[in-house]
Amino acid sequence: MTSPSFQSAAQAFLSDRRQFVLGAGSLTLLPWFGQCVQGALKTNASFASDPFTSGVSSGDPSPDGFVLWTRLAPDPINGGGMPDDAFQVTWELAEDEGFRKIVQSGKTLATPQLGHSVHIEVAGLPADRWFYYRFQCGDAVSPTGRARTTPAFNVMADKLRFAFASCQHFEHGYFTAYEHMAQEDLDLVLHLGDYIYEYGENKKAVRQHTGSEIKSLTDYRNRYALYRSDEHLRAAHAKCPWLVVWDDHEFDNNCAADISEEDDVNPADFLLRRANAYQAYYESMPLRKRSMPKGPHMQLYRRIPYGQLANFEMLDTRQYRTDQPNGDGLKPMNEAALDPKNTLLGEKQEHWLMRDLIASQSNWNVLGQQVMMAPADRLEGDKQAYSMDQWPGYTASRDRLLAFMQDRKVPNPVVLTGDIHNNWVNDLKANFSDEKAAIMGTEFVCTSISSGGNGSLQKSDAYADRIKRENPYVKFYNAQRGYVSCTVTPTEWRSDYQVVEFVDKPGAPKVTRASYVVESGKPGAQLA
């Protein structure tokens, strides 16, 4: 994959402002609520069909609040079905599900510039409390969702229950894992990327995308709406707050900053498409205004503390990375993969992360990120093959970060990973080439919700034996579908690997395939 520099591509992209405004919408010119908006203002709308087809969500909680999200879209997968007018939306927050004890309420605008999405940043609430919320627009009322504030910054919570997931290809299967997740008693959900897939329609798929590969803003909006049409995904969103980050398929497969995996892509066109993808992502997720994109740029990395129990560092390993070495794919660990100039996080994000980690006062320090950190040799014997799209292709960057956490004695590092469509448990070391190097942390990797279709327990057993022989720091491998639910206390972290037997039809039961624990102050996971 080759491309002009990011700076050159950005200059080319910005050189034609008219193309940018017409193609992506100038996000730097978007009005804030209360200012003038395009079209008329509708304060008492009447809808022929439900405008809350995408459900409701909450996210990015703090000790005194959270973000509340919804979108007006009565015809969701055909552009939304809303006129180019602003609509007044009322929101309510209550202590009870019947909304008899309303604690806050307000009005805001759903504007066409943001696809009639709504992001409410609630503040001034008591810490560590559950609330119920809903929206109303004209004669339509949304479903009810639950949200909670986090413990105060100086409080050591007794327990945190959360789940993490990734990779939900709509065409590959049903989101049955979310059906089970929504039935768990959870405080948080982390989604680690590949919320949508950008590919065009596959007529042989279990469930079909609509249209060709997505590129325009309308295309991306329609794709998010299609995925949100899944009732189990909507139920999981309504259950509790989510912390979200993207990977590649929210934009384009195996993208690396401004570089496409395809050699003949015009860099300016690629950044125009990225602006479309980033705006649709913001419109579709419960994110704060500080994450609003600026054209083809969007700061998604951020810190979410859960009192003094856990500190979540949500990372972006796509937007700032250098190109994958060795032409991507599975390759040996050669000089190109070991080049110290390779970076997944970029200098600014890496320094921000290091500063946050040494300032953390939390017992568990958690990196929520996309691609597997531990190196996994996929071949047996002397031949080697490592994924150049994952941290092994950026070995110097990974080793620098892990050594930093080890040297600075960052308490209880835990890395949460998606992307790979398999379950893994890995010991982490600052130097994986040294078999005697001390274990300094643990990586828990979740499989896909549906991507890859039905998994295979039989394949898991045979492949896992070989993987663990070649990579002794790998503790567990499994090739089924599902998610990971975690229970965290001041003394122990427990990860339960929840799997479903099939995704090509609804109704698969949930099975806890394995459980691993980490004791506070004792790096390394052990079978529960």
For strand 439-445 and strand 413-417, is the pairing parallel, antiparallel, or unpaired?
Answer: parallel
In this structure, the answer to whether residues 119 and 216 fall within a common structural domain is no
Show which of 148, 169, 193 is a domain's final residue.
Answer: 148
User: Given this model, what pLDDT does residue 460 score?
Assistant: 66
In this structure, the answer to whether residues 225 and 299 fall within a common structural domain is yes
- Residue 117 pairs in a beta bridge with 71
- Distance from CA of residue 61 to its chain's centroid? 15
Q: What is the pTM of this model?
A: 0.93
Query: Is 153 within the bounds of a domain?
Result: no
If one counts the domains in the chain, the total is 2
| Domain CATH code at residue 80 | 2.60.40.380
Show which of 105, 120, 148 is a domain's final residue.
Answer: 148
Residue 17 near residue 41 (C-beta atoms within 8 A)? no
CB burial string 254-273: b at 16+ within 10 A, e below: bbbbbbbbeeebebbbbbbb
Query: Is 13 within the bounds of a domain?
Result: no
Token pair of 393, please? 């292709």
| Domain CATH code at residue 391 | 3.60.21.70
Extended strands (E) in 271-343: 302-306, 310-314, 330-331
Query: Is 18 within the bounds of a domain?
Result: no
Taking the C-alpha atoms of residue 479 and residue 501, their distance in angstroms, rounded to an integer, is: 10
Number of H helices, E strands in the chain: 9, 25
CA dihedral 309, 286, 140, 114 (to 10 degrees): 160
In this structure, the answer to whether residues 127 and 204 fall within a common structural domain is no
CA dihedral 367, 368, 369, 370 (to 10 degrees): 140
Query: Is 8 within the bounds of a domain?
Result: no
User: Given this model, what pLDDT does residue 463 score?
Assistant: 81
Residue 312 near residue 368 (C-beta atoms within 8 A)? yes
User: Given this model, what pLDDT does residue 432 score?
Assistant: 95
- Distance from CA of residue 116 to its chain's centroid? 22
Q: Which residue matches tokens 């709308």?
A: 45
For strand 522-527 and strand 510-519, is the pairing parallel, antiparallel, or unpaired?
Answer: antiparallel
Query: Is 16 within the bounds of a domain?
Result: no
Token pair of 486, please? 């975690």
Q: Domain limits at 130? A: 31-148
Show which of 127, 148, 169 is a domain's final residue.
Answer: 148
Q: Which of 201, 243, 203, 193 minimizes the C-alpha distance to 226? A: 201
User: Given this model, what pLDDT does residue 234 score?
Assistant: 98
In this structure, the answer to whether residues 430 and 302 fall within a common structural domain is yes
Q: How far is CA 182 from CA 171, 308, 498, in A?
A: 21, 26, 13
Q: What share of the chain is helix, strand, coil (3-state, %, to 5)?
A: 25, 30, 50
Helix 347-359, helix 395-407: angle, nearest 10: 20
Residue 200 near residue 226 (C-beta atoms within 8 A)? no
Token pair of 395, please? 């070995």
495-499: list long-range contacts, CB under 8 Å, 24+ apart: 495/425, 495/444, 495/525, 497/423, 498/163, 498/177, 498/180, 498/181, 499/423, 499/447, 499/455
Query: Is 155 within the bounds of a domain?
Result: no
In this structure, the answer to whether residues 218 and 346 fall within a common structural domain is yes
- Distance from CA of residue 379 to its chain's centroid? 30
Q: What angle do CA 369, 374, 380 make, to 5 degrees?
A: 140
Q: Does an H or E element contain 461, and which?
A: helix 457-470
Token pair of 433, please? 């080439």
Residue 457 identity = L
Q: Which runs of consecutive H residues, i.e. helices, occur in 140-266?
A: 176-181, 217-228, 231-239
Beta carbons within 8 Å of 351's beta carbon, 6+ residues apart: none
Q: How far is CA 126 from CA 95, 148, 243, 256, in A?
A: 11, 10, 20, 41
Query: Is 326 within the bounds of a domain?
Result: yes
Q: Which of 441, 335, 426, 313 minimizes the C-alpha distance to 388? A: 335
Query: Is 497 within the bounds of a domain?
Result: yes
The string of DSSP letters for 95-135 reads SSTT-SSEEEEEEEEE-GGGTTEEEEEE-SPPSS-EEEEEE
Q: Which of 465, 455, 459, 446 minimizes the C-alpha distance to 514? A: 446
Residue 92 near residue 99 (C-beta atoms within 8 A)? yes
Beta carbons within 8 Å of 10's beta carbon, 6+ residues apart: 258, 271, 296
The whole-number mean pLDDT for each consecutive block of 10 residues of the chain, a chain of 528 residues, reads 41 40 36 48 92 98 98 97 97 98 98 98 98 98 98 98 98 98 98 98 95 97 98 98 98 96 92 98 98 97 98 98 97 96 98 97 98 95 94 97 98 98 97 93 98 84 86 95 98 98 97 98 96
In this structure, the answer to whether residues 134 and 205 fall within a common structural domain is no
In this structure, the answer to whether residues 268 and 219 fall within a common structural domain is yes
Q: Which runs of consecutive H residues, i.e. helices, occur in 253-361?
A: 267-284, 347-359
Q: Which residue matches tokens 């939306």?
A: 89
In this structure, the answer to whether residues 61 and 101 fall within a common structural domain is yes
Q: Which residue matches tokens 């899944």?
A: 230
In this structure, the answer to whether residues 254 and 378 fall within a common structural domain is yes
User: Given this model, what pLDDT does residue 37 score?
Assistant: 47
